[in-house]
Each structure stands twice: as structure tokens, then as C-alpha cells.
Amino acid sequence: MSETLLQVEGLIKRFGGFTALDGVSLEVRAGERLGLIGPNGSGKTTLISCVAGTLPTDGGRIVFKGTVLGRMPAYRRTRRGIARSYQVPKPFTSMTVLENVAVPLEYAGRGGGGDVAARALEILVSVGLGDKADENSLSLTQIELRKLELARALAAEPELLIADEVMAGLSNAEVDEMLELLFAFNGRGIAVIMIEHIMRAVMRFSQRIVVLDAGTVIAEGAPDDILKNPDVERAYFGE
Ligand code: ADP
Ligand code: MG
């Protein structure tokens, strides 16, 4: 078995008097494909914002590659290898598609002193946006925006990619296209946490699935076992 990449232990996150994460523990191994599912409002996005460092936590620990992240700011977590996509793509609309990837490349310190534009183009080609490099990001279709989100995340050369509902609103064929992309990234050794409501996609992609409900982990296991788990059914469909 490969080594532990990310370890979340007893994570607590409150918004005022509301507890959004109530002692969440989970683990991701190097190169693993993990599905993270749960009803709306169960805390999935909050969890990954805590891991990415865009939200402070109220308890528990997050350990990445053996280091307790504590109050480490988001940009340093990015440099250590944690990348996330946002549920609602937020490109820099005044910039070209290429510039949208060049900025995070520089930010993550991965320009390598080399030609940032060339590296950005390489990344765009890898997500199938090579021919859109010089267009304004405003001109992109929904799936192209999602691909740009992935490209921006990849610019940091992550060891862990957290994809937050990157398939929402896409057609079946487009979902398959995004799946293939995520499989390809994983094939290059990147561990992926897939947060997704499209069950067919999560089931096909994930080696293991963690289920959140109301800020706690209610189930964890192989996709087939999760499908048959009565607690999971209750969480989604009520009693
Ligand atoms: P999910 O991604 O699983 O749909 P979220 O993590 O977005 O769920 O939200 C979990 C809960 O925390 C929800 O009840 C949501 O309303 C609440 N929440 C999320 N972000 C904030 C915030 N910034 N302030 C207050 N409440 C929030
Ligand atoms: Mg969410």
C-alpha cells in the first residue's frame, strides 16, 4: 500500500453557533482516487476549504506529507502540493485563457525560471484547451471553463487535486470527457479527491468513497459497499 498523503483528524469547523464539521477524520493515500459524497450542505466544500487553507479550522488537525498544516496559509499549501478547483469557476475575466494559467503558475512558484507561457500552453494542451489559449476566458463554454479550472489547479503541479463538482451541469458526454481527464491526471501520480453528485461518475472513478452527512463521516468503503449502505440511503433519501 502506498504512503499516506493527507490525514484529516477530528476536524471541527464552526460558522458562528453552527457546527459545519463535527470531528471529521479521513485519509488519502499517495496516488489514490477518493470520492467524497454527501447531501447538499453536509460540509464537503467546507472540508476542502479547510484542507486548502482558505478557511481556518476550530479543532482537529490536518497533516499533509507528514507536516501538520496548522495555520499555514493557502499559498504555501499550494506550493506543498495541494490544489483545488472551485465549484463556481472564477477565471480572471480580463485575461486570456493562457494568462489565466500563467498567473497561478507564477504564484505557485512553478514557472521554474523557464518560459511561463510555454509551460502554461503545455498545461492547456493537456486539458484540451490548446486552441483556446489566446481567447478571452469570457468566451469559453461551460465545459471549457471547467477544464480551465483544472488547468489552473494543475499549474501548481499538485500531488493532491481536489475537484469540487467539476461535472455539475454537463452533458453525459462531457461528464465522460472530464472523467477521462481526471483519470489521466491520476495516471500521472496525482491523488484526486472527487466531490460529485453525479453518482455514475463517482462510482466509476473512485477506489474508495467517504460519505459526509451533517458534518460527520457516516460511511467509508468501496463504491459497491457504499451503494448498498442503508445509512447512506437514509442520508440521501430520508426515512
Ligand atoms: P456541501 O459542499 O456539502 O454542499 P458546504 O460545506 O458548502 O456543504 O456547507 C456546509 C454547511 O455549512 C451548510 O449548512 C452551509 O450553509 C454552511 N456554510 C458553509 N459556508 C458557510 C459560511 N461561510 N458561513 C456560514 N455558513 C456556511
Ligand atoms: Mg459544495
- Over residues 93-114, the pLDDT tens digits come to 789 999 999 988 887 665 556 7
Cβ atoms of 213 and 38 closer than 8 Å: yes
Inter-helix orientation angle 116-126/97-107, to 10°: 110
Contact predicate 110/157, CB 8 Å: yes
pTM score, two decimals?
Answer: 0.94
Which one, of 49, 144, 54, lies nearest residue 100 by Cα?
144
In a mutational test of the pocket of ligand 1, which residue from 14, 46, 211 has the highest number of ligand atoms less than 8 Å from its CB? 46
Question: Is the Cβ–Cβ distance between 53 and 77 less than 8 Å?
Answer: yes
Residue 239 in this model has a pLDDT that exceeds 60: no
20 lines ligand 1 (CB under 6 A): yes
206 in contact with ligand 1, CB cutoff 6 A: no
> At which residue does the C-alpha cell 470531528 appear?
23
Q: Closest residue (by CA) to atom 27 of ligand 1?
A: 15
Query: In a 3-state reduction of DSSP, which class is residue 90?
Result: coil
Q: 514557472: which residue's cell? A: 111
CA distance 133 to 121: 7
Which tens digit of pLDDT belongs to each residue from 14-39? 999 999 999 999 999 999 999 999 99
**Closest residue by Cα to residue 15 from 60, 42, 55:** 55
Say if residue 115's pLDDT is above 90. no
Please report, rounded to a whole number, the percentage of residues in the chain having pLDDT higher than 90: 81
- The residue whose CB lies within 8 Å of the most ligand 1 atoms, and thus the one to mutate among 11, 12, 15, 57, is 15
Ligand 1 in contact with 49 (CB < 6 A)? no
* Torsional class of 194: left (φ above 0), alpha (ψ -120 to 50), beta (otherwise): beta
pLDDT in tens, 121-169: 999 999 999 999 999 988 999 999 999 999 999 988 899 999 999 999 9
Give residue 236's pLDDT: 85
46 Cβ closer than 6 Å to some ligand 1 atom: yes
Closest C-alpha residue for ligand 1 atom 16: 41
Is 45 close to ligand 1, i.e. is its CB under 6 Å away?
yes
Residues 79-91 have pLDDT tens digits of 999 999 887 767 7
